[in-house]
A = this chain, B = another copy of it.
Amino acid sequence: MAELPFRTVCILGPGLLGGSIALAVRRAMPDCELRLWARREQPLQLARNLGIEHTYTNARQACSGAQLIILATPIGAFEELSRSILPAIDKNAIVTDVGSVKAYVHRTTGAMLTDRGRKFIGSHPMAGTEKQGMENAFAALLQGATVVVTNPHGVTEADTARLEQFWQQLGCSTYRMEPANHDRTVARISHMPHIVAGLAARNATVGETQTADLQRLASSGYRDTTRVSSGSAHMWADILWENDVAVREILHRCVDDLHQLVSLLENQDKEGVRAWLEEAKATREIILKLSD
């Protein structure tokens, strides 16, 4: 078995992602001392039932002596939580997060911790489902996922490589990016699709149709296109908020593009409609590398 990159790992926040990381650590690194903190007892009880022994409702106690601390609460809570645990963060420990936006996190939490002599590197595991909470967590969620690693505060190469090794031992592949480029990229590949899924979900009921008819005719197309919109509205409002410049830029393009399709239909330009659909298909195939 590969050497453990960190002997003591503390995860703050046993939501879907934090809980899944905990279960993956439990499985892939049985010798690692794994600690889990939550504000409430209920998810910790669930975690203990799943074999995670060291659970805490006191965050400072949880972090004391940990070599890796992972912020896995909603992004909006990172900074306050980090301030509250500050005295317990070892100067040699690495702090990371699993938030979906990176420039905002580095500008706030990352800068604060760096100013106070702590090591902060950002992480973003590209993994999730539309479900929430420890009750929906599972170790395999991380399997095969790309984890973006962002290091604008200049933490050493050795420490960065150690964090990457941690993710790799959980079955992930790592990918370094600049925070701003990460945010522009996820605005396009994740945040915009989330909004568009919501658009399809919301607008199915407008106008003169019966809910019973829509229910009866709904099939895999509606189900899959709208799937991600069943995610937490609270969490996603935070994400869009903290990446609003990149999100607004891409949404303006989407409004124009949808308008263009309506014009093609209005102008009876059937060939134009076909070409619009063809380009959607071709772009999807490139991004998901589906072409032969």
Which A residues form the contact surface with B (CB < 8 A)? 126-129, 145-146, 148, 175, 177, 181-182, 184-186, 188-190, 192-211, 213-231, 233-234, 236-237, 240-241, 244, 247-255, 257-259, 261-262, 265-266, 270, 273-281, 283-290
Give Cα A145–Cα B128 distance, bound, in whole angstroms.
Answer: 29
When the two chains form their complex, are residues B226 and A193 in contact, meaning their CB atoms are under 8 A apart?
yes
> Which of B197, B210, B248, B257 has a CB less than 8 Å from the CB of A202?
B257
Task: Kindly provide the distance from the CB of A201 to the nearest chain B CB, expressed in whole angstroms.
Answer: 4
For A185, what are the chain B residues with a Cβ–Cβ distance below 8 Å?
Answer: 209-210, 213-214, 217
For A177, what are the chain B residues with a Cβ–Cβ distance below 8 Å?
Answer: 213
A252 (CB) vs chain B CBs: closest residue:
B262
Chain A at the B interface: SS class:
helix
For A211, what are the chain B residues with a Cβ–Cβ distance below 8 Å?
Answer: 286-287
CB contact under 8 A between A205 and B175, given known A214-B189, A225-B225, A237-B273: no
When the two chains form their complex, are residues A265 and B284 in contact, meaning their CB atoms are under 8 A apart?
no
> Which of B148, B192, B206 has a CB less than 8 Å from the CB of A217?
B148
For A240, what are the chain B residues with a Cβ–Cβ distance below 8 Å?
Answer: 265, 273
For A247, what are the chain B residues with a Cβ–Cβ distance below 8 Å?
Answer: 265
When the two chains form their complex, are residues A127 and B230 in contact, meaning their CB atoms are under 8 A apart?
no
Give Cα A265–Cα B203 distance, bound, in whole angstroms.
Answer: 19
When the two chains form their complex, are residues B270 and A237 in contact, meaning their CB atoms are under 8 A apart?
yes
When the two chains form their complex, are residues A224 and B227 in contact, meaning their CB atoms are under 8 A apart?
yes
When the two chains form their complex, are residues A283 and B217 in contact, meaning their CB atoms are under 8 A apart?
no
Additional 16 contacts, C-beta under 8 A, given A207-B249, A237-B270, A237-B277: A188-B207, A190-B221, A193-B200, A193-B221, A199-B254, A205-B287, A211-B286, A218-B288, A225-B228, A230-B281, A233-B275, A244-B265, A248-B266, A251-B261, A255-B258, A258-B258
Name 14 interchain pairs, CB-CB below 8 A, sorted by A.
Answer: A128-B221, A148-B217, A185-B209, A185-B213, A190-B221, A193-B204, A193-B226, A198-B276, A207-B249, A221-B228, A224-B227, A224-B228, A230-B284, A233-B281
> Which of B184, B193, B209, B285 has a CB less than 8 Å from the CB of A181?
B209
Task: Kindly provide the distance from the CB of A183 to the nearest chain B CB, expressed in whole angstroms.
Answer: 10
> Which of B188, B222, B236, B270 has a CB less than 8 Å from the CB of A203?
B188
